[in-house]
Amino acid sequence: MGTLSVDPFSRSFKGLIVWCIWLSLIQSSLATSHKTGHHFYKWEVEYMYWSPDGVENIVMGIDGKFPGPTIRARAGDTVHVQLTNKLSTEGVVIHWHGIRQKGTPWADGTAAISQCVINPGDTFDYRFTVDRAGTYFYHGHYGMQRSAGLYGALIVDLAEGEKEPFHYDGEFDLLLSDWWHKSVHHQEVGLSSQPMRWIDEPQTLLINGRGQYGCSLAAHYSKSPLSQCNITGHEQWAPYILHVDPNKTYRIRIASSTSLASLNLAIGNHKMMVVEADGNYLQPFETNDLDIYSGESYSVLLKTSQDSSQNYWISLGVRGRKPKTPQALTILNYKTNSASKLPISPPPVTPRWDDYAHSKAFSNKIKALDHKSIPKPPPTYHRRIALLNTQNMMNGYTKWSINNVSLSLPATPYLGSIRFGLKNAFDQTKPPEDFPGDYDVMKRPVNSNTNTGNGVYMLGYHSTVDVILQNANTLAENNSEIHPWHLHGHDFWVLGYGEKKFTKADEEKFNLKDPPYRNTAVIFPYGWTALRFVADNPGAWAFHCHIEPHLHMGMGVIFAEGVEHIAKIPKEALSCGLTGKRFMTGSHLG
Residues of this chain that interact with Cu ion (CB under 5 A) are 483, 545, 547, 550
Residues 467-486 interacting with ligand C2O (rule: CB under 6 A): 486
State which amino acid sits at residue 121: G
User: Is residue 518 near ligand C2O by the rule CB under 6 A?
Assistant: no
Q: How far is the CB of 554 from ligand C2O (least distance, A)?
A: 14
Instruction: Please report how close the Cβ of residue 406 comes to ligand C2O at its closest, in angstroms.
Output: 17
Pair type for strands 227-228 and 262-267? unpaired
Q: How far is the CB of 389 from Cu ion (least distance, A)?
A: 7
CB of 227 to ligand C2O, least distance (A): 36
Whether the Cβ atoms of residue 537 and residue 101 lie closer than 8 Å to each other? yes
Q: Examine residue 546 and tell whether it contacts ligand C2O (CB under 6 A).
A: yes
Q: Is 582 in the site for ligand C2O (CB under 6 A)?
A: no
* 378 DSSP assignment: P
Binding mask 293-312 for ligand C2O (x = CB under 6 A): --x-----------------
Q: Shortest approach of ligand C2O to residue 450 CB, angstroms?
A: 21
The stretch near ligand C2O (CB under 6 A) out of 58-66, 239-247, 356-364, 539-547 is 539-547
Q: Which of 419, 532, 544, 552 binds ligand C2O (CB under 6 A)?
A: 544
Q: Which of the choices Cu ion, ligand C2O, none does residue 550 contact, using the CB cut-off of 5 to 8 A by kind?
A: Cu ion
State the Cα–Cα distance between residues 309 and 242, nearest whole angstrom: 15
Per CB under 6 A, the list member of 53, 76, 84, 97 interacting with ligand C2O is 97
Beta bridge partners of 406: 452
Q: In angstroms, rounded to a whole number, what is the distance separating the alpha carbons of residues 172 and 134?
A: 13
552 near ligand C2O, judged by CB under 6 A: no
Give the residue at shortest CB distance from ligand C2O.
97
* Nearest-approach distance from CB 430 to Cu ion, in angstroms: 24
Q: Residue from 542, 545, 560, 563 that binds ligand C2O (CB under 6 A)?
A: 542
The answer to whether the Cα torsion of 341, 352, 516, 105 is positive or negative is positive
Nearest alpha-carbon partner for 453 in 430, 433, 434, 427: 427
What residues between 128 and 167 interact with ligand C2O by CB under 6 A? 139, 141
Burial of 238 (0-12, 13-18, 19+ CB in 10 A): middle
Distance CA 55, CA 50 (A): 8
Cβ atoms 386, 557 nearer than 8 A = no
CB of 404 to Cu ion, least distance (A): 16
User: Is 253 among the residues that bind ligand C2O (CB under 6 A)?
Assistant: no
* Strand ranges, E, within 454-573: 457-459, 464-470, 483-487, 492-499, 517-518, 520-523, 527-534, 539-545, 556-561
| Residue 112: closest CA among 549, 417, 420, 375 | 417
Interaction site with ligand C2O (CB under 6 A): 95, 97, 139, 141, 295, 486, 488, 542, 544, 546
